[in-house]
Amino acid sequence: MPAVSKGDGMRGLAVFISDIRNCKSKEAEIKRINKELANIRSKFKGDKALDGYSKKKYVCKLLFIFLLGHDIDFGHMEAVNLLSSNKYTEKQIGYLFISVLVNSNSDLIRLINNAIKNDLSSRNPTFMNLALHCIANVGSREMAEAFAAEVPRILVAGDTMDSVKQSAALCLLRLYRTSPDLVPMGEWTARVVHLLNDQHLGVVTAATSLIITLAQKNPDDFKTSVSLAVARLSRIVTSASTDLQDYTYYFVAAPWLSVKLLRLLQCYPPPEDAAIRGRLTECLETILNKAQEPPKSKKVQHSNAKNAVLFEAISLIIHHDSEPTLLVRACNQLGQFLQHRETNLRYLALESMCTLASSEFSHEAVKTHIETVINALKTERDVSVRQRAVDLLYAMCDRSNAKQIVAEMLSYLETADYSIREEIVLKVAILAEKYAVDYTWYVDTILNLIRIAGDYVSEEVWYRVIQIVINRDDVQGYAAKTVFEALQAPACHENLVKVGGYILGEFGNLIAGDPRSSPLIQFDLLHSKFHLCSVPTRALLLSAYIKFINLFPEVKGTIQEVLRSDSQLRNADVELQQRAVEYLRLSCIASTDILATVLEEMPPFPERESSILAKLKRKKGSGTVSDIEENRKERNTNVNGGVNHSSANTNAKVTSSSSTDLLGLGSNTAINSTPPPGPSTAASLLVDVFSETSPTGPLGAPSAPVSDDNFSRFVCKNNGVLYENQLLQIGLKSEFRQNLGRMYVFYGNKTSTQFLNFSASVVCQDALRAQLNVHAKPADPTIDGGAQLQQILNIECVSDFVEAPVLNIQFRYGGTLQNIAVKLPVTLNKFFQPTEMTSQDFFQRWKQLSAPQQEVQKIFKAKHSMDTEVTKAKIIGFGVALLDGVDPNPSNFVGAGVIHTKTTQVGCLLRLEPNTQAQMYRLTLRTSRDSVSQRLCDLLSDQF
C-alpha cells in the first residue's frame, strides 16, 4: 500500500479534533461543530474551486462529525469527486465516506458505481482493492446487481495480483450472503475451487471462506474441493512452524486456514476415495497427536490457536462418525480438558462430548468421564458450564447409569440456577421414564421432582405420570400409597395435589384396606388441600370426590355435604359451580349400577409422542436437519397419551383393550378414550393422540435405484444419517426391544424451496413380507425449506430374515418429481437381547450347539484398525452381551444373546479371534438355526 507522505497529515483536521476534545460541555462541542459545518458549507459553495487536498480535509471533518453522532446532509458530491483522484489518500477518504454515509437509495449511486467500475478496470491493484472493499462494505442489492458478474471474473483471472484476489474473494462472499440470487453460478465456480492450490496462503484462506458458504448451498458444484482441501490441510499439519513463517501464529502453522479447511470438509460426507480418506485420517491423527505434545510457548495465544484447530478437527471426526478409533481418541482428548483451569476449554469440552455421546462408537468412552462431569456440576462457578454438564449427563445416560445420573441431577436441582431448572426437570422426567426398569422408582423420582422443584414441573410432566400409572397395573397400588404419604406433608406443591387427587380418585381403593389410609382419611387429606389450590386444581379434586362416592359408598354423605355447601353451589367460578351441582345431583339420583358405569376406572390411554420430549425440543429450538445427529437422547421410545381428569369419565369408550405395552408396538388396534371436555385450563395435549398406523405403501419394486451406501454403518448403531444428497437428508433414530422396534425417520429439506406432494412408504419384497411387518405412519405432504419432518415406523419381526425393506420417497421440487429409494437398516441382529452367562454355562451351551449345520465360521482380512476398545463397542452395538473372562485367551472376544421373533427365539453364541500380526480375524457363530448363523456371520464380519 502506498506510504502516506508527511504533507498528508491534514493539520486543520488535527486542530479541529483537538478543539472538540477540549470542549468543557456538550453545548460548547455543538457550538464548535456548527461553526465548522458552516465553514465547510461555505467552502463547498464558494466560487473558488477547491483542490484535492482541501476536499479530502473537509470530507474527513464531515466524517468525524458524523461519527460523533451528528447528522450530515451535504458533502456527498465532494466525496464522489474524490473517487476520480489519482492520489491514493484522496481516493481512500472518498471511498471511506461513501462506505459510511451514502445510502444505497442515493441519487449518487450511479456516479459511485461508474467510479468503482473505472477503478476495477484500471488494473491498479491499490485502486482495485479500494473499490472491492467499498463494494463489500456497502453490500447492498444495488451493488450486487452492478458487480456480481464482474467480481468473479477478477477473482479467477490469471493476471490478478494476490492481494486483489483476496479482496475479490471476500467481496464476493459478502455479495453472496446479502443477495445469493444475484450471484450467478457459472464456469468460474470450477476455477475458484483451484484457488485452494494457490501458492499464497492469504488467497487460500479467503477462497476457503467463500467456498464454505457456496458449498453449503450448492454442494455438488464444489465437491471437487474435498480432495484439494485434504491435500492442503495435509501440507499444513505436517509442516514445521518455520516452513510457513509468514502464516505461523505463536508456533502454530496457519491456524485460521486449518480451521476453515476443517470446516469446509464438514460440508461433505467422508471421502469415498480410499487414498483421500486415508490421508485425511492421517491429518486428524496428527492434529490429535500434536495436542498431546508439550506446549512450545506459555502464552495464551499459542494454546488458543492450537485448541482452535483441535476442536475443529474433533467436530469433523464427529461429523463423519465413521472412524471408531478417532472418535475414541477425540473423547479421551476432550476428557483431559474437563479439568483444565481455563473455563472456556471446559465448556467447549463438555459441549463437544455431548455430540460424541450420540455416536455408538464413542458412547462408552464418554461414560468413563461420568464422575468428572458430576463433579463439574457440583463445583463449577459458571452457570453456562454447569448447564453443559447437565446436557452431557443427559446425553451419556443409558440403562446402566440412569439411577446414578438422575439422582445427581435431582441433588443438583435443589441449588441449580433458576434459569436452567425447568430444563433439568424435563430431562430428569424423560430419563426416569426412558430407563425405568422398576416403575416404582419412576414414581418416586417424579414425586421427588415435584417436591424439589414443583414450580418448574410443567403440566406435561405430571400428565405423563398419570398416563404411565393408568397404563401399568403393577404400579397403581404403589403409586396410590406413595402419593397418600407425600400429601401428608404440611406444605405440598399444587402439582403434587393434582397427581394425588387423580391417582387416589382412580386407585384409592387399592390402599383403603389399611386403617391408616381408610376412605374417610383419604378424603379428609385431599379436602384439607382444597382451599389452598387454584380453580383448575379444585375442579380436578371435585372429580376425585365424585369418584370416591363410587369407590367408597361409606363416605357418600360426607362428600355430599361438601358439594351442598354454599362455597361450592354458589361459587363465583362457573366451572366449579356447575361441577358441584351436576356431581351432587348425579350422586343423589343415580343408582349404584349407573354410578359404577359413569364413574368407572379410566381405560389405558392411547400412545403418542412424549409431550415432555416435545416440550424439551421446543425449549431447545425448532428442529433442523442438523438436529438429527445433535442429541442421542431425543431417541424416545415411550410415547405419550393423554390424560384429562378434570371431569368425570362420562363418555369413555374403549374399542379394544390393550396390555400395558408403553412402546405401542405390540398391537395395531386402536384404543380410543374420549373424556368429556374439562375446563379451559386443562391441556389439550391430554386428549390429542396420533392417528393410527396406516398401511405401508404399495407393494412392488422401488421406482428408483436403491441406495445402500450407509447401510452397513447401521449394523452396529441405531442412529445417524442414512442418506444425503443436495436436496434431502434422511436421518434415523431407532430402538428395538425383543421382536418389536420403532424407527424415527427424519426428512430434512436442505433447500430454501418447499417440497410438495411428499410421500414415504416402505416396501418389503417377496418372502420378506411374511417375515417382517413394517407399519409406517403417514407423513405430511409438504416440507418447508430448511425444515424437518418426522415419520414413525413400527416394526415387528415375525421370523428370521435376510433381506432388508426399502424406503421409497417421492416429492416435487421446483416442478420436478423426485424419486429416492433407500435400503432401511433393519437387520436380524436388531432383535437381539443380550444374555449374560458364566464361563461354565457358555461352554456347556457351546457344546450343545455342535451340529455342523449350527456353526458358521469365517476367516477374513481386517479392513479397519484392530483396536480392542473399538471391537468391544462394535460387538456390544451388534446386540449381544460381551462376556469378559470366559475365553481362556484374553485377546479373544466372546458374546451371547437371543434373537427374538414372533414365532420363536434363537439363542446365539459368538467367538471372535483376532490375529494382530497377520491382520486377520476368525469369527465363529453357533445358533440353533443354520440360516440365522449364516446371516449374523455375514453382518458382523463386514464390520471389521
Distance CA 424, CA 457 (A): 10
pLDDT at 170 over 80: yes
Is 61 annotated as belonging to a binding site? Answer: yes
711-826 and 829-942 share one CATH topology? Answer: no
Distance CA 393, CA 403 (A): 12
Q: What is the pLDDT of residues 815-828, one digit of tens each?
A: 788 889 999 999 98
Q: What is the mean pLDDT of residues 586-602?
A: 82
CB 627 within 8 A of CB 662: no
Backbone Cα Rg of the chain: 35
Cα–Cα nearest to 668, from 679, 658, 683: 658
Ranking 4-13, 59-68, 349-358 by mean pLDDT, the lowest is: 4-13
Which of 456-460, 608-612, 801-805 has the highest average model confidence (pLDDT)?
A: 801-805
pLDDT at 261 over 90: yes
Q: Which long-range contacts (CB under 8 A, 24 or more apart) does 891-895 make?
A: 894/842, 895/834
Cα–Cα nearest to 349, from 380, 296, 310, 297: 310
Pairing type for strands 706-707 and 816-823 reads parallel
pLDDT at 474 over 50: yes
pLDDT at 626: 35
CA dihedral sign, ordered 383, 434, 662, 650 = negative
Res. 621 pLDDT band, cuts 50 70 90 = low
pLDDT at 663 over 70: no
Distance CA 725, CA 776 (A): 23
pLDDT at 265: 92
Is 538 annotated as belonging to a binding site? Answer: no
Count the neighbouring beta carbons within 10 Å of the beta carbon of residue 574.
Answer: 9
Q: What is the pLDDT of residues 149-164, one digit of tens each?
A: 888 888 888 888 989 9
**Percentage of residues in the chain with pLDDT exceeding 70?**
88
Res. 632 pLDDT band, cuts 50 70 90 = very low
pLDDT at 653 over 60: no
Say how far residue 19 (Cα) sits from the centre of its chain: 56
Is 935 annotated as belonging to a binding site? Answer: no
pLDDT at 220 over 80: yes
Cα–Cα nearest to 909, from 863, 943, 940: 940
**Which helix (H) or strand (E) covers residue 507, if one does?**
helix 494-507
CB 644 within 8 A of CB 686: yes
Q: What angle do CA 513, 505, 522 make, to 5 degrees?
A: 50
Q: Under 8 Å CB-to-CB from 531, ≥6 apart: which residues?
A: none
For 164-193, b/e burial (b = at least 16 CB within 10 A) is: bbbbbbbbbbbbbebbbebbeeeebbeebb
- DSSP class of residue 236 equals H
CB 191 within 8 A of CB 158: no
**Counting beta carbons within 10 angstroms of the beta carbon of residue 797, is it exposed (0 to 12), middle (13 to 18) or buried (19 or more)?**
buried
Is 35 annotated as belonging to a binding site? Answer: no
Place of cell 445417524: 720
pLDDT at 206 over 90: yes
pLDDT at 659: 32
**Percentage of residues in the chain with pLDDT exceeding 90?**
14
Average pLDDT over all residues of the chain: 82
Is 635 annotated as belonging to a binding site? Answer: no
**Which helix (H) or strand (E) covers residue 421, if one does?**
helix 421-434
Q: What is the mean pLDDT of residues 798-816?
A: 86
pLDDT at 102: 75
Q: Could you tell me the pTM of the whole model?
A: 0.62
**Which helix (H) or strand (E) covers residue 542, if one does?**
helix 535-551
Q: What is the pLDDT of residues 697-722, one digit of tens each?
A: 333 434 578 888 888 888 888 888 88
Distance CA 857, CA 855 (A): 7
pLDDT at 348: 92
Within 621-712, where are the H helices? 627-630
pLDDT at 242: 61
CB 877 within 8 A of CB 734: no
pLDDT at 516 over 60: yes
CATH superfamily of 829-942: TATA-Binding Protein (3.30.310.10)
Cα–Cα nearest to 480, from 519, 450, 431, 452: 519
Length of the chain: 944
SS3 395: helix
Q: What is the mean pLDDT of residues 394-404?
A: 89
Q: What is the pLDDT of residues 485-507, one digit of tens each?
A: 989 888 888 888 999 999 998 88
CA distances from 206 to 201, 212, 254, 266 (A): 9, 10, 13, 18
Is 744 annotated as belonging to a binding site? Answer: no
- DSSP class of residue 69 equals T
Res. 104 pLDDT band, cuts 50 70 90 = low
pLDDT at 660 over 60: no
Q: What is the mean pLDDT of residues 561-570?
A: 84
Which of 98-107, 184-193, 828-837 has the highest average model confidence (pLDDT)?
A: 828-837
pLDDT at 617 over 80: no
Ranking 310-314, 471-475, 532-536 by mean pLDDT, the lowest is: 471-475
Place of cell 456497502: 138
CATH label, 711-826, candidates 2.60.40.10, 3.40.50.1100, 2.60.40.1230, 3.40.50.1820: 2.60.40.1230
Ranking 96-100, 183-187, 197-201, 692-696 by mean pLDDT, the lowest is: 692-696
Is 367 annotated as belonging to a binding site? Answer: no
pLDDT at 620: 60
Is 12 annotated as belonging to a binding site? Answer: yes
**Counting beta carbons within 10 angstroms of the beta carbon of residue 331, is it exposed (0 to 12), middle (13 to 18) or buried (19 or more)?**
buried
Is 418 annotated as belonging to a binding site? Answer: no
- What residue segments make up the domains of the chain, in order of their start? 9-77, 711-826, 829-942
Distance CA 119, CA 828 (A): 68
Q: What is the pLDDT of residues 868-889, one digit of tens each?
A: 888 888 888 888 888 888 888 8
Q: What is the mean pLDDT of residues 653-663?
A: 32
Q: Under 8 Å CB-to-CB from 190, ≥6 apart: which residues?
A: 221, 224
- DSSP class of residue 512 equals T
Query: What's at 563, amino acid-wise?
Result: L
CA distances from 448 to 406, 639, 805, 847 (A): 11, 22, 45, 50
pLDDT at 404: 92
Q: What is the pLDDT of residues 283-315, one digit of tens each?
A: 999 999 988 888 888 888 888 999 999 999 999
Distance CA 888, CA 315 (A): 40
Res. 462 pLDDT band, cuts 50 70 90 = confident
Q: What is the mean pLDDT of residues 308-335?
A: 89
pLDDT at 3: 47
